[in-house]
Amino acid sequence: MIRYDTHTGKTTYSDGNSLSGDLGKKVRDGDKEALQKLKEFATNKDPEQPHSQARALYELAEVHFNGFCEVERSPKKALEFLIQAVELNDDLASIRLGEFYRDGKRGFKQDGQKALELFLKAAESGNKKGLRLAAEMFRSGQGGFKADGYKALEFYEKLDALDDEQAPMKIAEIYEEGCGKFKADGYKALEIYDDIILHGKYWDKIKRDFRISSPQRSICSIAFGKAAEIYLNGKAGVKPDGYKAIEYYTKIDAWIPLADIYLYGKGGVAPDGYKAIEYFSKESECYTPFLKEIADIYLEGKAGVKSDGYKAIEYLNEIIRRHDTEDRFFSPPDAMRMIAEIYLEGKAGVEPDGYKAIEYLNKIIRRNDNNAMFEPPEAMKMIAEIYREGKAGVAQDGHKAVEYLTKIAGRKAWLSVSFVNEAFYELGTIYEEGCDSVLPDIQKAIAYYQKSAERGYNSAKMKLEELVGSKDS
């Protein structure tokens, strides 16, 4: 904040927005004139504006730490400026030096007590971060201190008294998780989360009525989720209660946790696959991958849902239709493969239909999506097996099997060379044994086994030894 004093005719600046701080930003952008002015501020000992000199010294320390504005890096000079800034009570300098003591960096021996003093010094200058860092030292056991929930709470409560928006959440987390010798108390944590929620509702109304936003609104959503988890998992002495968890999750439209509760029957809630489908459906309106979750429920008949392969296919086809799944582990080609398997094996009441399976496998081949877990050559291999063995009502057709295996063998750019090796081997077995209208041809079999063996396929090497050896004898 800039203030003009009409009595003295001087312009003063707060530590948070000092002129020297503004110059520091320009120096970071390479402004050499700003660097010169910064040096002038650093030597200005105006007793009415000590904060401007202190901030300039801090900014010069950063210049020498980082080499801003083409200044040669010099940790030694940087530390000299930093210590001078601390002596003049610059809050940012106190925090920076405190972090060095806490972590044992820049040549400083780790000294938690010295770090704590510097963080509190910054806090006395009005910097809330100092109190946060002090609290974290005791909460996480930093700087050589042992974790101490009582001390951490002391500092978080001071922050809370200063209306720090994060402080209540931190206090609740200590009660939820415990800290050092401080024992967890789930009911006390819930009490605080409920207060956060109540305050968040107030800010939500302010936002609606006056269009004034506050971080408390987003913190409120986190508190809903935290409270729900305590009830769901029975944390810190709280009796598990899935229905209370549902109550909290419902208020923030947390569809996925709600679906999981009903799908797996968590927290004493009776499993209900249809409710799980309801919530997965809501989430899938924005996120396509959750359609796969619904398909799995119908396919496997989870949580009291009657298995229905045709419903599973319906949801998998929706994934294919959208073309925009964000899940790299289950993309449209993977949905095509899953549908093909359902038709091929006749899963969940679906009538086996090898031709439908081939239809979807051919879609994978045409799409050639390299992001899919299920690769096009694998689809070709499956089609070849269907024709070779005459699966799921498909007439045995050796020529079709050879056609698809030859497509694999003829492609050199597949990510997995094992498909090529196996394709040559399978072609060898077809010509060795014969298949439908493809008659046995030992010379062709040996030729394909040779190609597979040359690529290191051990089964092909064994076949060659067997065939060539029997021929020689």
| Domain boundaries, given as residue ranges, for the chain | 165-252
Distance CA 360, CA 339 (A): 7
What is the per-residue pLDDT for 198? Answer: 85
Q: Is the pLDDT of residue 207 over 70?
A: no
Q: Say whether 62 sits in a helix, a strand or coil.
A: helix
Neighbours of 169 (CB within 10 A): 18
Mean pLDDT taken over the chain: 86
DSSP per-residue codes, 308-323: -HHHHHHHHHHHHHH-
Instruction: Judge if pTM exceeds 0.95.
Output: no
Confidence category of residue 215, pLDDT binned at 50, 70, 90: low
Confidence category of residue 352, pLDDT binned at 50, 70, 90: very high
What is the per-residue pLDDT for 327? Answer: 59
Enclosing H/E stretch for 12: strand 10-13
Q: Provide the percentage of residues in the chain whose pLDDT is more than 90.
A: 57
Q: Is the pLDDT of residue 47 over 70?
A: no
C-alpha atoms less than 13 angstroms from C-alpha of 152 in its C-beta half-sphere:
27
Average pLDDT over residues 305-330: 86
Range with the poorest average pLDDT among 35-39, 152-156, 434-438: 35-39
Neighbours of 468 (CB within 10 A): 13
Distance CA 430, CA 436 (A): 10
What is the per-residue pLDDT for 221? Answer: 86
Q: Which is higher by pLDDT, 195 or 469?
A: 195
What is the per-residue pLDDT for 6? Answer: 36
Contact criterion met (CB below 8 Å) for 83 and 74? no
Average pLDDT over residues 95-101: 94
pLDDT tens-digit map of 254-295: 999 999 999 999 999 999 999 999 999 999 988 888 999 999
Q: Is the pLDDT of residue 414 over 60?
A: no
Contact criterion met (CB below 8 Å) for 23 and 56? yes
Average pLDDT over residues 190-218: 69
What is the per-residue pLDDT for 19? Answer: 62
Contact criterion met (CB below 8 Å) for 273 and 302? yes
Confidence category of residue 336, pLDDT binned at 50, 70, 90: very high
What is the per-residue pLDDT for 467? Answer: 84
What is the per-residue pLDDT for 18? Answer: 54
Q: Is the pLDDT of residue 12 over 80?
A: no
pLDDT tens-digit map of 132-184: 999 999 999 888 889 999 999 999 999 999 988 889 999 999 999 999 999 99
The secondary structure of the chain in percent helix, strand, coil, rounded to multiples of 5, reads 70, 5, 30
Q: Provide the percentage of residues in the chain whose pLDDT is more than 70.
A: 85
Strands 10-13 and 2-5: antiparallel
Alpha helix positions (H), 146-214: 149-161, 167-177, 186-210
Contact criterion met (CB below 8 Å) for 101 and 112? yes
Average pLDDT over residues 78-100: 92
What is the per-residue pLDDT for 217? Answer: 62
CA distances from 164 to 129, 137, 216 (A): 10, 18, 10
Confidence category of residue 130, pLDDT binned at 50, 70, 90: very high
Q: Is the pLDDT of residue 328 over 50?
A: yes
Q: Is the pLDDT of residue 3 over 80?
A: no
Q: Is the pLDDT of residue 11 over 90?
A: no
